[in-house]
């Protein structure tokens, strides 16, 4: 054995003998993804050409555990291949902190966590990590958890500012919410899982010149899931109230899914989502369109992200009826999800005549192959068949005949080392 290795080994032994029981896990994720966009997120206009690119997420995860203390630090770089020159001395996006939190067990039933962290619950419709997006989603927050047997209550708090100010700013904080408080309760009885959520988000706005105020919007509801033998189903119902920028909020969400395992390899399911909206001839100032807030919206309403992924806010709402087909064979997994979209509220043409509610049909195809435990390859193809009502909602007057999207992604997730 080399002298340097002996020295390192001796140091590790001495440190371990002189310290508490510790665990350190270091792992890496590299995730390049190719995309071909020909009408992704919006109908392509005639005269516009499709585009393609490769993006990449690179993450380094460090997890440390010592008795009652846990910490996590995740550093990441998100880039588009070619966004910096091959000889550039700097990176366009640099290294960012995706997660940086410390958690301490106050007792067997009480835990507290503080710092930058992922907040995700249930099916991630309201709170999610947004794992599909290369940058993901995390919050600067404090969390207190009470978790006796078969119960869990999370209380979360956040306060955001744009800098360490000396005096109150004169312009509104628009990058993020100004403050957030929430309570999430989860329990299980028999074969039913029940969750309750109450979320209060405050957004700053300028009521008059130099006069800043914070309006608070409440999102509240329940999520139930049931699984027995071959059946798998869930139901979510949420409402929204309060105010946003001095406008009253009154919105509703309801979603249900019923799945059945025909065999160990083949699963089938059907579901429907309703997100309230506002008639285009409604002259009131009230906000009647439901917003999924911090949800992982890419997983819902079609993979082409026509709805609620940075768009379709304060619009005519959405009805989404879909079918899920999944087939698994050895290391392969295939998925087919057709969606039928319609507007629950009035859509008007250029002459203010009422249009049909049908918005379009999207078909999503996916394939996944597990090369090994830490290397997974995925690919997908989606096509949107939009209607004239969708053209109107999306404000596209001369759409192309074909709107589709294709992607290929490989995720490498090796564990660098684990020290106990």
Beta bridge partners of 201: 180, 217
pLDDT of residue 174: 80
Distance CA 341, CA 319 (A): 6
pLDDT of 67-125, one tens digit each? Answer: 999 999 999 999 999 999 998 888 888 999 999 999 999 999 999 999 999 999 999 99
pLDDT of residue 9: 53
Beta bridge partners of 256: 235, 272
pLDDT of residue 211: 85
pLDDT of residue 5: 57
Other beta carbons less than 10 A from residue 155's beta carbon: 15
pLDDT of residue 6: 46
- Average model confidence (pLDDT) for the chain? 93
Other beta carbons less than 10 A from residue 397's beta carbon: 11
Do the beta carbons of residue 130 and residue 137 sit within 8 Å?
A: yes
Q: Could you say which residues of the chain have pLDDT below 50?
A: 3, 6-7, 10-11, 13-15, 17-18
Burial of 29 (0-12, 13-18, 19+ CB in 10 A): middle
Question: Is 29-419 a CATH 2.40.160.100 domain?
Answer: yes
Do the beta carbons of residue 145 and residue 111 sit within 8 Å?
A: yes
pLDDT of residue 89: 86
Burial of 418 (0-12, 13-18, 19+ CB in 10 A): exposed
pLDDT of residue 209: 81
């Amino acid at each position: 054995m080399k002298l340097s290795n002996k020295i390192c080994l001796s140091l590790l032994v001495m440190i371990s003998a002189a310290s508490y029981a510790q665990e350190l896990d270091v792992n890496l994720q590299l995730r390049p993804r190719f995309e071909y966009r020909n009408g992704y997120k919006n109908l392509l206009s005639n005269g516009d050409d499709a585009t393609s690119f490769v993006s990449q997420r690179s993450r380094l995860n460090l997890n440390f555990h010592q008795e009652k203390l846990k910490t996590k630090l995740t550093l990441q770089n998100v880039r588009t291949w070619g966004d910096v020159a091959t000889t550039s001395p700097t990176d366009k996006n640099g290294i960012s902190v995706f997660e940086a939190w410390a958690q301490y067990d106050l007792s067997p039933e009480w835990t507290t966590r503080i710092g930058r962290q992922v907040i995700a619950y249930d099916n991630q419709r309201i709170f999610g990590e947004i794992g599909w997006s290369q940058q993901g989603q995390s919050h600067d927050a404090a969390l207190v958890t009470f978790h006796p047997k078969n119960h869990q209550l999370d209380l979360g708090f956040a306060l955001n500012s744009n800098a360490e100010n000396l005096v109150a700013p004169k312009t509104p904080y628009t990058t993020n919410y100004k403050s957030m408080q929430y309570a999430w309760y989860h329990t299980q009885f028999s074969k039913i899982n029940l969750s309750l959520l109450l979320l209060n988000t405050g957004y700053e706005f300028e009521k008059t010149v130099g006069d800043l105020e914070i309006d608070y919007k409440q999102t509240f509801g329940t999520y139930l899931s049931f699984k027995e033998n071959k059946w798998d189903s869930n139901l979510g119902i949420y409402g929204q109230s309060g105010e946003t920028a001095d406008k009253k909020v009154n919105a509703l969400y309801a979603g249900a899914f019923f799945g059945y395992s025909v065999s160990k390899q083949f699963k089938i399911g059907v579901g429907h989502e309703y997100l309230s909206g506002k008639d285009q001839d409604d002259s009131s100032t009230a906000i009647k369109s439901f917003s999924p807030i911090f949800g992982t919206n890419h997983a819902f309403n079609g993979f082409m992200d026509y709805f609620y992924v940075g768009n379709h806010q304060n619009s005519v709402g959405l009805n989404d009826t879909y079918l899920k087909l999944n087939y698994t064979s050895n290391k392969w997994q295939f998925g087919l999800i057709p969606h039928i979209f319609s507007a629950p509220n009035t859509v008007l043409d250029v002459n203010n005549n009422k249009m049909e509610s049908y918005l379009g049909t999207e078909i999503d195809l996916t394939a996944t192959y597990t090369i090994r435990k830490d290397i997974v390859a995925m690919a997908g193809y989606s096509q949107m068949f939009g209607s004239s009502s969708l053209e109107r909602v999306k404000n596209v007057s001369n759409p192309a005949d074909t709107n589709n999207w294709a992607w290929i992604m490989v995720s490498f997730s090796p564990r660098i080392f684990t020290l106990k």
